Structure 1
Amino acid sequence: MEYNKIKELIDVLNESNLSEISIEDDEHKITLKKEQKQVEYVQQHSIQQPNENNQNLAKQEDSQIQINKNANRENQEEDLSVQYVKAPMVGTFYKAPSPEEGAYVEVGDRVTESSIVCILEAMKLFNEIQAEVSGEVIEILVEDGQMVEYNQPLFKVK
């Protein structure tokens, strides 16, 4: 079977609601299956009779909601001055150029946009990562040797 025909079958499968396509001719038999994502829904029901305890509980919940709203406002104000150094690729995070050497940066260090802050290893290639922001490192968000995803925050800089 020709490559173009197989590619067309893959495109049809991807663009449809089908989960499987099978094609057979004299020489070939091809079965394409699409993995189905399963979502589990859990619904919880509880019925409570109104009483004094429930009313007190509702008042406490209202108070807690107000406290949470105030905390969220404070966090939003704080977050305006915080910037993140994010992973430009998927790879393994290393905070030092080698196990015998010290880390590129530690909490409390000042960085500039061109400062090297870590290494990401991808496919046996070691890539030096620049901060691309300026300020003081206030938190390192990943552990040495940890796998990181694309655009995952690595450092908090203020």
Structure 2
Amino acid sequence: MDLKQIHDLIKIINKSNIGEISIEDKDGKVTIKQKEEPVVTVATPPQQVYNVAPAAAPTPVVVPAPQPAAAPAPAAPKADNLITIKSPMIGTFYRKPSPDKPNFAEIGTEITPGKTICIIEAMKLFNEIEAEISGTVVKILVEDNSPVEYDQPLFLVEPN
């Protein structure tokens, strides 16, 4: 088999759906394989469908709250005067500068403008997020090492 015949075979294979062909004659054996394109599969999560009966009175559903394993939480301050600190970017939320260091802010921590309260990693860059207000952290709304969205609430702060 000469080179021109091999080139003609390659053209035929490329135009067809044949994945591989082997030809053997007195001069030798030739195997031609088509290059496989990577297959990309996109999976979407199943969507929940709710059936609502028209003009039916809603039945209240009571879901018991999970019982805390530790001591009961302190009484929450009035929600009307709390300030929400939100994420300025999309990324991964970290409460401490490294795994062996203490958290930047805990519940009850006094914060002041300019004090680092967390880190958000975005595109391999670690961005220190600083407080813009003075106050006391009353609730941390995001788990350590979890993804956050732009403008997602991170902390609730009671201003001083």
TM-score for the superposition, normalised by structure 2: 0.53
Structure 2 partner of 1:81: 81
Distance 1:107 1:47 in 2: 44
Q: How many angstroms does 1:114 deviate by?
A: 1.1
2:100 aligned with 1:91, yes or no? no
User: For 1:1-150, what aligned pairs fall within 5 Å after superposition?
Assistant: 42-45=51-54, 78-150=78-150
Deviations 1:90-142 (A, max 9, x none): 01000000001001111111001211000000000000001112100011111
Distance 2:122 2:98 in 1: 16
Amino acid at match of 1:43: V
Computing the radius of gyration over CA atoms, which structure comes out larger, 1 or 2? Answer: 2
Distance 1:47 1:157 in 2: 42
Residue identity over aligned pairs, in percent, reads 47
Structure 2 partner of 1:154: 154
* Count of residues paired in the alignment: 95
Contact 1:85 1:133 in 2 (8 A): no
Distance 1:91 1:130 in 2: 16
Q: How many angstroms does 1:46 deviate by?
A: 6.1
- Give structure 1 stretches of 5+ with no counterpart: 1-37, 49-60, 62-74
Where in structure 1 do 4 or more consecutive aligned residues deviate above 2 Å?
Answer: 40-43, 45-48, 77-80
Instruction: Kindly report the root-mean-square deviation, in angstroms, between the aligned alpha carbons of the 2 structures.
Output: 2.8
Q: How many angstroms does 1:83 deviate by?
A: 0.4
TM-score for the superposition, normalised by structure 1: 0.53
The structure richer in helix per residue is 1
- Give structure 2 stretches of 5+ with no counterpart: 1-46, 61-75
